[in-house]
A = this chain, B = another copy of it.
Amino acid sequence: MFATKIFTSFVSNLFKIKPMQNAVLITIGDEILSGNTVDTNSNFIATELKNIGIKVVQIFTISDEIEIIKNTLKSAFEIGDLVITTGGLGPTRDDKTKKALAEFFDDEIALDEVTFEHLKAYMEKRGRIEILERNREQAFVPTKSTVFQNHYGTAPCMMMEQDGKLSFSLPGVPYEVKPLIKDQIIPYLKDKFSLNYLTTRIVSVVGIPESILADQIEDWELALPANLALSYLPVGTRVKLRLTATGIDEEFLQNQLENEIQKLFPIIGENIIATHEDKIEKILGEILNEKELTISTAESCTGGELAQLLTSNPGSSKYFIGGIVAYATQKKTDILHVSEGTIERFTVVSREVSREMADGCQSVFKTDISLSSTGVAGPGKGEDGKDVGLVYYTIKVKNESETFKLYLPHLERKDFIYFVSQKILQDLVGILIGK
């Protein structure tokens, strides 16, 4: 059955044009270079391409200048079979991508009637009857291009071809990029090209520093099959081992990965908290669903990040009942029933207040599990003069609660909140799976 599977996949691929393996992304515009915007498009596109076996091998982030765009297109086509550009297609005068595209492909720009009709319909639907000259210009595209219409904005996506290599030029707004990639470009590529499969699994390891981990699993790593690649991704609270397998049969690759991951258990099994999901809120979500446990949160210094993380998971309404952000001290007593005496005696940022917050939270929301945090995210000192970077958090599961302390004075406010929230969910996962 296994041999048949490879054969079928081989035959069905024979009818496709050619393999397409390496992609290059070009991000155009000063928003990212100036530090104003974080580039999330590249992340999204790389993930989508990876899922159909195309690997992003390089990303160029460049400014909106015709010569630079042309030179970068040249470099990109030397490296990849597929080039995707984002940005530089808005209706305003700082966008020069279209012109560079036409010059690079030795083409002219002309009005595309179909695109213009689409644009008019798009704008009329939004109550804008009068079409400005500036908008009409958006329907001008290189004459050799194939247009993929944009249903969520006014700039069309243009595909160009050169010696069997392809480029797609998209606008830069993430809300427009996502549907163009997902609903149009990915299906197009899947249809036209013979694609290799790339399958990835991530193993989350806690409690061992990267260098010691690398030593412990060295033999295992050296014995990995040639089509498997390993990367270490240290995050704040754990090390992720990413295993990527490349080949033509998806099921075979999945079995291969599972097989290698199983071999890790005799070596570092006690430190592995997940082998399927990557994000801690998803790992936790699966466990909560499986064990049919409910959860609630009482936050001070994490300011809603715990609730936000838990609810970012689709389907979280099954286990997340609710949360309270008790920022003002008074609200800790009013809503979470923390005793005033405890606060007076131990101050707000204390082990005791953290524990009472978790108790109060569990009784307000009537959940199996409650989480609490109280600390000083900074940059200013806490109400009671406690040090920036100090935090106590409590994890209460049924009747048992445990309170932890962290001191992270070197982290900026945002990183502090992120790190603490990740750590709390990670510790809860550890407790629930008995590690």
A34 at the interface (CB under 8 A from B): yes
Q: Which of B39, B234, B278, B323 contacts A173 (CB 8 A)?
A: B234
Task: Given A33-B58, A91-B211, verify A304-B321 contact (CB < 8 Å).
Answer: no
How far apart are A434's CB and chain B's nearest CB, in angstroms? Answer: 25
When chains A and B are docked, how far (Å) is the Cα of A181 from the Cα of B91? 36
Chain B minimum-CB-distance residue to A322: B331
Q: Which of B42, B63, B211, B364 contacts A57 (CB 8 A)?
A: B63
Task: Given A33-B55, A60-B60, verify A322-B326 contact (CB < 8 Å).
Answer: yes
A340 at the interface (CB under 8 A from B): no
A93 close to B59 (CB less than 8 A): no
B35 close to A38 (CB less than 8 A): no
Task: Given A59-B33, A59-B60, A93-B221, verify A325-B327 contact (CB < 8 Å).
Answer: no
A250 at the interface (CB under 8 A from B): no
A430 at the interface (CB under 8 A from B): no
B415 close to A174 (CB less than 8 A): yes
Task: Given A61-B42, A307-B304, A308-B305, verify A90-B33 contact (CB < 8 Å).
Answer: no
How far apart are A230's CB and chain B's nearest CB, in angstroms? Answer: 7
Task: Given A59-B32, A242-B36, verify A311-B304 contact (CB < 8 Å).
Answer: yes
Interface residues of A in 181-235 (CB under 8 A from B): 200, 202, 209-212, 214-215, 221, 229-234
Flag A34-59 by CB within 8 Å of B: 1 or 0 each: 11111110111111111000011111
A94 at the interface (CB under 8 A from B): yes
Q: Which of B46, B173, B335, B410 contacts A152 (CB 8 A)?
A: B410
A12 at the interface (CB under 8 A from B): no
When chains A and B are docked, how far (Å) is the Cα of A308 from the Cα of B62? 32
B36 close to A233 (CB less than 8 A): yes
Task: Given A30-B231, A35-B47, A47-B35, verify A327-B322 contact (CB < 8 Å).
Answer: yes
B244 close to A34 (CB less than 8 A): yes
Interface residues of A in 58-112 (CB under 8 A from B): 58-63, 68, 90-94
Q: Which B residues touch A59, using CB under 8 A?
A: 27, 32-33, 59-61
Q: Which B residues touch A426, using CB under 8 A?
A: none
Q: Which of B49, B303, B312 contacts A307 (CB 8 A)?
A: B303
When chains A and B are docked, how far (Å) is the Cα of A104 from the Cα of B58? 20
How far apart are A173's CB and chain B's nearest CB, in angstroms? Answer: 6
When chains A and B are docked, how far (Å) is the Cα of A21 from the Cα of B58? 25
Q: Which B residues touch A33, using CB under 8 A?
A: 46, 55-59
B58 close to A60 (CB less than 8 A): yes
Q: Which B residues touch A325, using CB under 8 A?
A: 297, 304, 307, 311, 322-325
A386 at the interface (CB under 8 A from B): no
A283 at the interface (CB under 8 A from B): no
A134 at the interface (CB under 8 A from B): yes
Chain B minimum-CB-distance residue to A200: B34
A247 at the interface (CB under 8 A from B): no
The residue among A39, A221, A414, A417 with the most chain B CB atoms within 10 A of its own CB is A39
Flag A373-392 by CB within 8 Å of B: 1 or 0 each: 00000111001000000000
A11 at the interface (CB under 8 A from B): no
How far apart are A175's CB and chain B's nearest CB, in angstroms? Answer: 6
Q: Which B residues touch A334, using CB under 8 A?
A: 364
B230 close to A378 (CB less than 8 A): no
B38 close to A232 (CB less than 8 A): no
A-B pairs with beta carbons under 8 Å apart, 18 shown: A32-B42, A34-B200, A34-B244, A35-B56, A39-B42, A58-B60, A58-B62, A60-B61, A91-B211, A152-B410, A303-B311, A304-B308, A304-B325, A311-B417, A320-B327, A322-B328, A323-B324, A325-B325
User: Apart from A132-B212, A151-B410, A307-B307, what are 9 other A-B pairs with CB-CB below 8 Å?
Assistant: A29-B231, A33-B56, A35-B44, A128-B209, A303-B307, A308-B308, A311-B417, A322-B324, A328-B365
